Amino acid sequence: MRSGVVTIAGRPNVGKSSLLNALVGRKVSIVSHKPQTTRHRIQGVLHRGEDQIVFVDTPGLHRLQKRALNRAMNEAAAGALRDVDLVLFVVEAGRWTDEDQAVLERLAGNAVPVGLVVNKIDRLKNRELLLPELQRLSAMREYAFVVPVSATRQENLAPLIDEILRHLPEGPPLYPPGQVVAHDDAFTVAEIVREKLIHHLHEELPYALTVEVEHYEREGNLDRISAVIWVEREGQKKIVIGENGQTLKKVGTAARRELELIFGRKIFLKLWCKVRENWSDDPKALRRFGLIGHD
């Protein structure tokens, strides 16, 4: 019987959250095409027979630290590199950047074994280039293993899981059978709403917003939820709401539909948009929104 904690780390947008979801077979962590989507450590549990892997998805490690939010995200990610059984360093096939290099350097001082996961292999036009790339990447440091995968096409995940289990200690499971998610329903709601906002809004706006669940009541098979979308300026509020409330309505509908599927209950979701100036650079606001001090 094996069990352990495995951190999924890497620069923004390489597909860490997609990989977590593919590995545990359920959407545990939100995904978007924009970098810096994940802001917290998010656990997802894979049960395989008696073995258990607790994955920890992390915010993408990035270099620009203009705001307190960015520093908090980097700290959340860096803190998950220690005191775990294994780190998965996720990179993108065919694309090595300065930020990947910075993650590699950060991992050099870390005592935990590292497995390299080369994601998005489905994007490679010429698969013959994969082998030389794997060789090049393997030479950069000592890896516990190197496994190419496609998270979105669920390619080569079984060999990755085998490799991970081989590096976990013998031990009793950390979570009861069947439990996949560690966070509560309010967190799921806030994240799904934020994901829909990212999908519906353009450019920089997703970086300026956060979602806070204010009320959560369960009445039989119905969840009554109200949540605030916090933005930094009046102009942003106008965009989030949209003409005649169109944008907010679309976001609310998309979030409600997905939440009903996830929870298997009816959802009544009320969304508000409010301004809190400069919240992303204000430690007090970040604490209130659970973006720092959540350990």
CB 285 within 8 A of CB 276: yes
Partners of residue 56 on adjacent β-strands: 7, 43
- With beta carbons less than 8 A apart as the criterion, state whether 199 and 32 touch: yes
- Closest by CA to 14, choosing from 64, 60, 63, 74, is 60
Which one of 35-43, 87-95, 130-138, 180-188 is the stretch in contact with Mg ion (CB under 5 A)? 35-43
Residue 247: strand, helix, or coil: helix
Based on C-alpha coordinates, what's the Rg of the chain?
20
Contacts of ligand GTP in 199-258 (CB under 6 A): none
Q: How far is the CB of 218 from ligand GTP (least distance, A)?
A: 30
Structure tokens at 86: 């294994």
Using rule CB under 6 A, residue 32 touches ligand GTP = yes
Pick one of ligand GTP, Mg ion, none as the site partner of residue 33 (Cβ within 5 to 8 A by kind). Answer: ligand GTP
Report what 14 binds from Mg ion, ligand GTP, none; CB cut-off 5-8 Å by kind.
ligand GTP
The entry of ligand GTP, Mg ion, none near residue 154 (CB within 5 to 8 angstroms by kind) is: none
Alpha-carbon gap, residue 168 to 138, rounded angstroms: 21
38 scored as a contact of Mg ion (CB under 5 A): yes
How many residues at the interface with ligand GTP, by CB under 6 A? 23
Question: Under rule CB under 6 A, which residues in 99-128 are in contact with ligand GTP?
Answer: 119-120, 122-123
Binder of ligand GTP out of 70, 74, 150, 210 (CB under 6 A)? 150
**Rounded to the nearest 5 degrees, what angle is found at the Cα of 76, between the Cα atoms of 25 and 143?**
65
One-letter identity of residue 194: R
- State yes or no: residue 58 binds Mg ion (CB under 5 A): no
Rounded to whole angstroms, the Cα distance separating 50 from 54 reads 13
Residues lying near ligand GTP in the complex (CB under 6 A): 12-18, 31-33, 35-38, 59-60, 119-120, 122-123, 150-152
Residues that bind Mg ion (CB under 5 A): 16-17, 37-38
